[in-house]
């Protein structure tokens, strides 16, 4: 079968070659891949690939061999899956607890955009806890995770301010429920505290008589570098910052004396989407149900033939694609 393998170089990062067809374990189904999504984090992994590793964690397609242990979907079912690797190929072996069956109404292209970004957003929302009425600052919001999280959190009653370096990449976030899109965490104005408890919160305007408060109950930070301390400064006293990525690939320098100038008693937490007791398949089924019912909308900035995988990786690395990029197999 044909599959993409890493070169260890930036360009081309992958090449398509003939490789052996997967030999599934007893708890894995063999899926004929119809479409797969590529993620920016995978572009970083390709720079120093582990021996024998092949990329690919988001796939959608058809089960052509069911699991030998009798678990999971049977042959002929359309599925979306989240294998540990090797999904950029004609066939992929996927653990059955990382598969969800697709309804006829959900095309493979849309389903392929769900796994990594959708799972991250859904589990990040759970980690955040109840968000109704809370003000949230989300950095790195123009990728797949940002679009999913914004829609999910806004639907749950949160007031989301999204941070994205390019304003034109933020229009869709406003349509999905964000109340504000800014270029830098320091530009986020949030809400202002009224003089009396009975006055509702209102967006900031220069002539308002309200006294400013540190605006955000929760900060979700995914870019690193100077963005994290800038976002931390926008946190209210006793608020929480959840760090879930470093897309900017720059280390964070944090001066803890800054806490005395702003959010004293703040909590900093790390999040990784794989740290959950819920199987991927269960959460994928939730995402499929939300999309099928029109309550969640995958933001797909590019759909192309899988021959264009390497060019798509370059554009993804250079932030020229909004949301997810999906490749289809002819």
- Residue 214 confidence (pLDDT): 54
Residues 104 and 139 in one domain: no
Residues 191 and 262 in one domain: yes
Residues 159 and 244 in one domain: yes
Domain presence at residue 281: no
Reply yes or no on whether the pLDDT at 205 is more than 50: no
**Three-state DSSP class for residue 30:** strand
Question: Which tens digits make up the pLDDT trace of 22-54?
Answer: 999 999 999 999 999 999 888 888 988 999 999
On whether the CB atoms of residues 147 and 323 are closer than 8 A, the answer is yes
Domain presence at residue 290: no
User: Cα 64–24–107 angle (5° rounding)?
Assistant: 40
Question: Which tens digits make up the pLDDT trace of 306-321?
Answer: 999 999 999 998 888 9
On whether the CB atoms of residues 237 and 214 are closer than 8 A, the answer is yes
Residues 126 and 260 in one domain: yes
- The alpha carbon torsion through 114, 117, 118, 122 (nearest 10 deg) reads 170
Residues 213 and 234 in one domain: yes
DSSP bridge partners of 81? 59, 99
Reply yes or no on whether the pLDDT at 199 is more than 90: no
Q: How confident is the model at residue 300 (pLDDT cuts 50, 70, 90)?
A: very high
Element (H, E) at 287: helix 280-292
How many CA atoms does the CB half-sphere of 85 hold within 13 Å?
13
CA distances (Å), 118 to each of 28, 145, 152, in order?
A: 22, 6, 10
Residues 58 and 141 in one domain: no
Q: Domain containing 199 — which CATH number?
A: 3.40.50.720
- Residue 207 confidence (pLDDT): 40
- Residue 3 confidence (pLDDT): 98
How far apart (Å, rounded) are the C-alpha atoms in residues 90 and 87? Answer: 8
- What would the mean pLDDT of 147-151 be, rounded to a whole number? 97
Question: Which tens digits make up the pLDDT trace of 174-195?
Answer: 999 999 999 988 888 654 333 3
On whether the CB atoms of residues 113 and 37 are closer than 8 A, the answer is yes
Reply yes or no on whether the pLDDT at 212 is more than 60: no
- What would the mean pLDDT of 104-108 be, rounded to a whole number? 97
Query: Where is mean pLDDT largest: 168-172, 196-200, 314-318?
Result: 314-318
- Residue 187 confidence (pLDDT): 84
Q: How confident is the model at residue 277 (pLDDT cuts 50, 70, 90)?
A: very high
- What would the mean pLDDT of 284-288 be, rounded to a whole number? 98
Reply yes or no on whether the pLDDT at 203 is more than 90: no
Domain presence at residue 289: no
Reply yes or no on whether the pLDDT at 201 is more than 70: no
- What would the mean pLDDT of 50-73 be, rounded to a whole number? 97
CB atoms within 10 A of CB 86: 22
How far apart (Å, rounded) are the C-alpha atoms in residues 71 and 91? Answer: 19
Place of tokens 């969800």: 100
Q: Domain containing 39 — which CATH number?
A: 3.90.180.10
Domain presence at residue 282: no
Instruction: Supply the mean pLDDT for the chain.
Output: 88
**Can you read off the two tokens belonging to residue 125?**
């929302």
- Residue 197 confidence (pLDDT): 38
**Can you read off the two tokens belonging to residue 25?**
């374990």
How far apart (Å, rounded) are the C-alpha atoms in residues 220 and 98? Answer: 26
Q: How confident is the model at residue 138 (pLDDT cuts 50, 70, 90)?
A: very high
Element (H, E) at 175: helix 171-175
- Residue 261 confidence (pLDDT): 64
CB atoms within 10 A of CB 41: 16
Domain total of the chain: 2
Residues 313 and 263 in one domain: no
Residues 153 and 175 in one domain: yes
CB atoms within 10 A of CB 259: 16
Residues 128 and 27 in one domain: no
DSSP bridge partners of 326? 37, 303
- Residue 262 confidence (pLDDT): 66
Determine whether 276 is exposed, middle or buried from the number of CB atoms within 10 Å of its CB (0-12, 13-18, 19+).
middle
- Residue 297 confidence (pLDDT): 97
Pairing label, strands 216-221, 235-243: parallel
Domain boundary among the residues 270, 285, 310 is at: 270
Reply yes or no on whether the pLDDT at 114 is more than 60: yes
Domain presence at residue 287: no
For residue 172, what are the domain limits?
120-270
* DSSP character at residue 89: B
How far apart (Å, rounded) are the C-alpha atoms in residues 144 and 222? Answer: 12
* DSSP character at residue 247: T
């Amino acid at each position: 079968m044909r599959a993409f393998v890493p070169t260890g170089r930036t360009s081309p990062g992958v090449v398509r070659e003939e490789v052996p067809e997967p030999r599934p374990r007893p708890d894995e189904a063999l899926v004929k891949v119809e479409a797969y999504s590529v993620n920016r984090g995978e572009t970083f992994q390709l720079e120093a690939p582990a021996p024998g590793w092949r990329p690919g964690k988001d796939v959608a397609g058809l089960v052509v061999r069911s699991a030998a242990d009798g678990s999971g979907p049977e042959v002929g079912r359309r599925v979306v899956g989240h294998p540990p690797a090797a999904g950029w190929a004609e066939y992929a072996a996927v653990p059955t607890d990382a598969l969800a069956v697709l309804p006829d109404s959900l095309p493979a292209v849309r389903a392929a955009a769900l796994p990594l970004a959708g799972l991250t957003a859904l589990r990040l929302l759970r980690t955040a806890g109840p968000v109704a009425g809370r003000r949230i600052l989300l950095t790195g919001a123009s990728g797949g995770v940002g679009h999913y999280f914004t829609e999910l959190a806004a639907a749950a009653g949160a007031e989301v301010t999204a941070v994205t370096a390019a304003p034109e990449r933020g229009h869709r976030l406003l349509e999905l429920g964000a109340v504000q899109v800014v270029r830098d965490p320091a530009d986020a104005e949030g809400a202002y505290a009224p003089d009396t408890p009975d006055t509702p919160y209102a967006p900031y305007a220069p002539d308002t008589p309200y006294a400013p408060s540190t605006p955000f109950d929760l900060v979700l930070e995914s870019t690193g570098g100077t963005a994290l301390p800038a976002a931390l400064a926008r946190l209210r006293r006793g608020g929480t910052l959840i760090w879930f990525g470093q897309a900017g690939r720059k280390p964070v320098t944090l001066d803890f004396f800054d806490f005395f100038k702003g959010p004293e008693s703040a909590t900093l937490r790390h999040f990784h989407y794989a740290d959950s007791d819920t199987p991927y398949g269960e959460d994928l089924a939730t995402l499929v149900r939300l999309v099928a019912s029109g309550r969640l909308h995958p933001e797909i900035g590019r759909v192309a033939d899988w021959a264009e995988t390497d060019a798509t990786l370059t554009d993804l690395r250079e932030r020229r694609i909004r949301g997810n990029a999906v490749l289809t197999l002819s």
